[in-house]
Amino acid sequence: MLNAITQKKPPLWLVAISILMPTSFACLATSATNVAIPHIAGYFGSTTDEANWVITSYMIANACLILMTGWLENLMGRKTFLKVFISVFTIGSLICAMAPNLNIMVLGRLIQGIGGGPMTPIAQSILLAAFPYEKRSVAMSLFGIAVMIFAILGPTFGGFIVDNADWQWIYLVNIPIGILSVALVHSNIDELEIRKKIEHIDFPGMISLVLWLLSMQIVLDKGQQYNWFDCAWISWLAGFSACCLSFFIVWELEYKNPIVNLRVFKDKNFFIGTILSASVNMIVFTTIVLLPQYLQSIMGYTAMISGLALAPRLISSLIMIVLINPLMQIFDNRILISIGFFFLGITTLMYMNLNLMISFGYIAIPNILMGVGIILIFVPVSSLVLGTLPKSELSNGASLHNLCKCTTMAVVASIATTMVARHSQMHQVNLVKYLSNFNLVFQQKTASLIHSFMVYTSHNYAQIKANTYLYKSLLTQSRLTAFVDVFEIFAIIAFCLIPLSLFLNVKKNKNL
């Protein structure tokens, strides 16, 4: 039955709240869990590597469901689809909070990822379809609050929870939000005007997608631990993952009823916008992962304080969310995106001056500038990337777009962590030559430390403590320099992306 009864449509602000509330808390749960991993590992008596499956399981389920969003939306209907998956996310959160062991915790995160995966692409497509073209910048500003702002807020929120309460509260807060969201969706979200009839289920595409993402995530998660391709099973699994990806691409291009239409990549705006969005996520997520590691492992900050160090970018992002809409009306969006990448490059370069004597304010200032750059890129790109696609392809395009961002985050998190470990070893080799008795500076420093320690102990023990202290300083400096190397690489990437934004098309698509 197609629109037999006309009814008054809810106001746009109510539609936005209904879809963005569950989306924002799905994003919050993703980034808040990262800072809680040591506490989760300690609670269940497991290693950090084992506890990392709490993150891995969520990312696998999240990525699989992201790509199936458009297909499932057509199969189930938008309203039913949203209510089902919000309920699944809520149930997953409850299982995580009540988990008696790590295996149940991983299962809960898997279920949570299944429910949370479709939230971001479906929110983007609903907002773009609901808001008129001239108000799309407003829609994407609201979308930016739900996705970027809450993702940035995650480490601060998670750090506050684990330092002041039980880590389970990270998941318990999702339960009342999920119940309220189901009620709001039922009342305020309209059904799809046109639904494609699903005659055949693309089982080969679905299976190859799951196998690709699962094998890829295991390789990324365990690669550094097993020395990457020096390990036979890592090499075989990486090859298997590449074969699954190749099969998936060929199958989806040739099959008559694919779960995802890969041909939307022919659209120039979609292709370039996806590259730009994935790159922003790559740079931002790298800082979200590495800065807390640096602050906690080298500077000795608590989880809460390291989270607060990232909070200034939240403040500047919120201010820019208010300003970005008028800026997009005045200036060419491509210029704003270019300026945004310039800001990202400058702020990432500022992290190259990290040392053991920096103040809290030195971390805060670049984060303020980074918040400005994030919104200058995120909102205009979100408006343009799907802006030239027809309405019938919005859900499909949003799914693909968000899968690329999600996959990039998984790959970059692994690459960044590996680079820190490898560069740290490289700098150790370069610095250890200075710990020699033929080095006068080393002799003087050792003698000074021995003299200080002899106040409390014997000469022999004082000498051992002095050598241990200097070697520990070498390890700290090596790791510090490795962080600086990684930030330098990502700063260069940000600057190289500036001209790419100029190829975007800012004209309205007549098919919309």
pLDDT at position 373 = 87
CA 182/CA 22 separation, integer angstroms = 9
Q: Are 143 and 20 within 8 A, CB to CB?
A: yes
Give the domain CATH number at 135.
1.20.1250.20
- Per-residue pLDDT, averaged over 189-210, amounts to 70
Reported confidence tier of residue 236, pLDDT bands at 50, 70, 90: very high
Query: Do residues 389 and 278 share a domain?
Result: yes
Choosing from 220, 240, 256, the residue where a domain stops is 256
Domain range for 354 is 263-512
Query: Do residues 235 and 279 share a domain?
Result: no
Q: Is residue 403 part of a domain?
A: yes
Query: Do residues 278 and 229 share a domain?
Result: no
CA 478/CA 486 separation, integer angstroms = 13
Report whether pLDDT(84) > 60.
yes
Q: Is residue 4 part of a domain?
A: no
Give the domain CATH number at 345.
1.20.1250
Report whether pLDDT(64) > 80.
no
Instruction: Choose the most confident range, by mean pLDDT, from 135-139, 307-311, 315-319, 437-441.
Output: 315-319
Count of C-beta atoms within a 10 Å radius of residue 51: 22
Three-class secondary structure assignment of 40-83: HHHHHCCCHHHHCHHHHHHHHHHHHHHHCHHHHHHHHCHHHHHH
Query: Do residues 228 and 147 share a domain?
Result: no
Lowest mean per-residue pLDDT among 9-18, 76-85, 258-267: 9-18
Q: Is residue 1 part of a domain?
A: no
Query: Do residues 306 and 450 share a domain?
Result: yes
For residues 5 and 461, which has the higher predicted lDDT (pLDDT)?
461
Lowest mean per-residue pLDDT among 100-114, 178-192, 382-396: 382-396
For residues 259 and 176, which has the higher predicted lDDT (pLDDT)?
176
At what angle are helices 78-98 and 119-130 packed, to 10 degrees? 150
For the whole model, what pTM was predicted? 0.74
Report whether pLDDT(459) > 70.
yes
- Per-residue pLDDT, averaged over 106-113, amounts to 87
- Per-residue pLDDT, averaged over 374-396, amounts to 78
Q: Is residue 105 part of a domain?
A: yes
Query: Do residues 313 and 432 share a domain?
Result: yes
- Per-residue pLDDT, averaged over 204-228, amounts to 81
Q: Is 122 exposed, middle or buried (0-12, 13-18, 19+ CB in 10 A)?
A: buried
Task: Provide the 8-state DSSP code for 292.
Answer: H
Q: Is residue 2 part of a domain?
A: no
Query: Do residues 281 and 397 share a domain?
Result: yes
Q: Is residue 238 part of a domain?
A: yes
CA 248/CA 19 separation, integer angstroms = 30
Element (H, E) at 289: helix 268-297
Q: Is residue 278 part of a domain?
A: yes
> Which of 57-89 are b and which e, b meaning 16 or more Cβ less than 10 Å from the residue's Cβ?
bbbbbbbbbbbbbbbbbbbbebbebbbebbebb
pLDDT at position 351 = 84
Report whether pLDDT(195) > 70.
no
Query: Do residues 331 and 406 share a domain?
Result: yes
pLDDT at position 197 = 58
Q: Are 289 and 34 within 8 A, CB to CB?
A: yes
Q: Is residue 314 part of a domain?
A: yes
Q: In the predicted model, what is the mean pLDDT of the chain? A: 80
Give the total number of structural domains in the chain: 3
CA 411/CA 129 separation, integer angstroms = 31
- Per-residue pLDDT, averaged over 336-353, amounts to 88
Query: Do residues 184 and 232 share a domain?
Result: no
Query: Do residues 220 and 331 share a domain?
Result: no
Reported confidence tier of residue 512, pLDDT bands at 50, 70, 90: very low
Query: Do residues 362 and 470 share a domain?
Result: yes
Query: Do residues 430 and 299 share a domain?
Result: yes
